[in-house]
């Protein structure tokens, strides 16, 4: 089952509530792809020895990994951290999170500056592109355990909005990247690949393809 997302209402009620519009206005994975959001569904029960996760890390260059448990009795300065996570901000690098247990929400801004809420649950791995305005919160279960992945040494610095002066934000806003699905060799899951427009390949947004067996895996690596 794929990830679920929807446009948010403007209520100031508890941030952990779903905040769906009435009627609900769902956001498809296709629409998330157009914002640069990448997604994989994995088996979190075998994350320590999962060949699919290992391959993703190799393909994407996710050399750093740690695990955080966000729960009142395990996370120091719990309330302060939740407040900080929910401040609208951006990063200079992609944000990669893999939910190993529990549930949570990532909120991202669309191109019209509207909030989209992405419901994360066990087995969901998501990448938010550098420069996108976003925020994070637990849902009403008040618990999640997540793997944090990074290319190279981690940089946790967040730049709260407004941060439009940063080059990465300007590049994100101006980007016209394209996205497409690649079916994994074992047919167990799909991955999204984001291509720079300077590459010679021409795929329309949302097109589907599988990697021909004669093409090297690196043909589909994410540009760094």
Q: What CATH number belongs to 4-175?
A: 2.60.120.10
pTM, two decimals, is 0.81
- Is 19 labelled a binding residue? no
Q: Is the Cβ–Cβ distance between 182 and 193 less than 8 Å?
A: yes
State in Å, rounded, how far the first CA of the chain is from the last one. Answer: 29
Buried b (16+ CB within 10 A) or exposed e, 183-200: eeeeeebbbbbbbeeeee
In the predicted model, what is the mean pLDDT of the chain? Answer: 84
- pLDDT surpassing 50 at residue 132: yes
Which residue in this structure is represented by tokens 């990247």?
177
Structural tokens at position 31: 């629409």
- Is 95 labelled a binding residue? yes
- pLDDT surpassing 70 at residue 211: no
β-pair partners for 117? 6, 107
Comparison of pLDDT for 59 and 199, the residue scoring more:
59
- Tell me, rounded to whole angstroms, the distance of Cα 53 from its chain centroid: 15
Q: What is the pLDDT of residue 206?
A: 31
Integer Cα distance of 132 and 174 in angstroms: 12
- Is 91 labelled a binding residue? yes
Domain ranges of the chain: 4-175
- pLDDT surpassing 90 at residue 219: no
- Tell me, rounded to whole angstroms, the distance of Cα 91 from its chain centroid: 12
pLDDT tier at 1 (50, 70, 90 boundaries)? low
State phi, psi for 22 to the nearest 5 degrees.
-120, 115
Structural tokens at position 139: 């849902």
Integer Cα distance of 206 and 61 in angstroms: 24
Comparison of pLDDT for 185 and 78, the residue scoring more:
78
Give how far Cα 218 sits from Cα of 93, 149, 173, 193, Å: 21, 20, 27, 12
Average pLDDT of the residues in 59-87: 96
Average pLDDT of the residues in 14-25: 98
């Amino acid at each position: 089952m794929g990830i679920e997302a929807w446009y948010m209402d403007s209520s100031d009620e508890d941030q952990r509530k779903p905040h769906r519009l009435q009627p609900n206005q769902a956001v498809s994975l296709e629409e998330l792809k157009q914002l640069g959001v990448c997604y994989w569904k994995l088996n979190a029960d075998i994350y320590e020895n999962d060949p699919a996760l290992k391959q993703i890390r190799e393909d994407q260059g996710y050399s750093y990994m740690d695990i955080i448990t966000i729960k009142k009795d395990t996370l120091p300065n719990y309330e302060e951290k939740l407040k900080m996570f929910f401040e609208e901000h951006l990063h200079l690098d992609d944000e990669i999170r893999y939910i190993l247990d529990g549930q949570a929400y990532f909120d991202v801004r669309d191109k019209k500056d509207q909030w989209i809420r992405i419901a994360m649950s066990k087995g969901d791995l998501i990448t938010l592109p550098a420069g996108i305005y976003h925020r994070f919160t637990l849902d009403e279960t008040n618990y999640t355990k997540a793997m944090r992945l990074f290319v190279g040494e981690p940089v946790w610095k967040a730049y709260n909005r407004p941060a439009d002066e940063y080059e990465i934000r300007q590049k994100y806003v101006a980007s016209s990247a394209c996205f497409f699905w690649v079916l994994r060799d074992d047919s167990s899951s799909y991955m999204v690949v984001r291509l720079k427009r300077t590459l010679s390949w021409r795929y329309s947004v949302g097109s589907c393809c599988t990697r021909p067996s004669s093409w090297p895996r690196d043909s589909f690596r994410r540009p760094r």
